[in-house]
A = this chain, B = another copy of it.
Amino acid sequence: MKSDATESDIRRVVETIESLGFKAHPMPGANRTAIGLTGNQGPVPTDPFADLPGVAECVRVTKPYKLVGRDLKHDKTIIKIGDAELGGEEPAIIAGVCAVESYEQTMLTAEVVAEMGCKWFRGGAFKPRTSPYAFQGLAEEGLKILADVRERFGLAIVTEAVDEPALDLCERYADVIQIGTRNSQNFSLLKRAGQARKPILLKRGMSSTLEEFLLAAEYVMSEGNYQVILCERGVRTFGSHSRFTPDLSVIPAAQRLSHLPIIFDPSHSTGNRETVIPMARAAIAVGADGILVDIHPYPERALCDGPQALLFDMFREMVGQLRAIAEIVKTHSAVHNVAAQGA
């Protein structure tokens, strides 16, 4: 749509699409609204749309993903929860506990996160564990603790849903619903996430290609939820010095193809506290829109993934470094964008 298209122009295009039996996907951007069309079996004639008021252009998307791509919507998608923002100028630092283990552990952690001026809190109430005999999370009890964190510290809450009943609960208690790497091609859960009214943080599958990763996001968006955050979390390779091999090169590649924001998880990708800070710095330097990081008041007693959790002091130091690096990257991007517009 043109940048001066009115609400009623948009509504008219949506109605035209629907009257032809297709699905319309209006996605507002910073400057203009893009409207995706899906549900077609083959090419759709552009005649019915081209002359409608407010229409700027009709683009046929030949990539397998439609709504995810920059062909349809060029403006970057920004996720906002209150004053927390992801995809904008500042990198989002989503910090917290891997698993919510107790009220005390969670509150101690949240206090440090808030004290450092971060706006987002992560915590797992449902934990997908490789062994059926491992601790699987506090479930709704954990979600209530997270809701208390929001209440007390004003932090936006990110938590994982491992299945549809969990997603129902997360939708009620949390601000952003995470889909984990092991569910990255659980298409039923992705569709359910697409019906949720909360943003979805979608982790890349541990052996997903970039195209599969984007198509997982397309599953969510094709159901009408356009608030998707991509998250790189390491891929499976032969390497053993790191739990997974963090693939930072996917971040600029995804940003070229998609308008969705993308963040990085240095904790689960490396599994090693000592490597978390350097990799977090690298992620911000590469241009990620944020990080998702585990911290813990006493990691040696953690019920899940203790060795990767930062100590509080390490976290404080890291935040300072990340902000300084982000400043450099931002300055550069500004220069770069001005140059690009001039070209």
Contact = CB atoms under 8 A, between A and B. Distances in A.
Contacts of A284: 285
Interface string A199-234: 000000011011010010011001000000000000
A138 interface: no
Give the size category of A's interface with B: 35 or more
A278 B270 contact: no
Interface stretch (A77-85, A100-108, A251-259, A290-298): A251-259
A278 B215 CA distance: 24
Contact of A238 (B222, B238, B242, B324): B238
B209 A239 contact: yes
B248 A282 contact: yes
A285 B325 contact: yes
* Identical subunits present: 4
Nearest to A320: B332
B328 A324 contact: yes
Contacts of A131: 64-65, 215, 218
A236 to B, nearest CB: 4
A269 B183 CA distance: 21
Contact of A253 (B38, B66, B242, B317): B242
B274 A285 contact: no
11 contacts: A163-B164, A182-B185, A207-B236, A210-B239, A235-B239, A241-B253, A252-B279, A278-B285, A317-B332, A324-B328, A325-B328
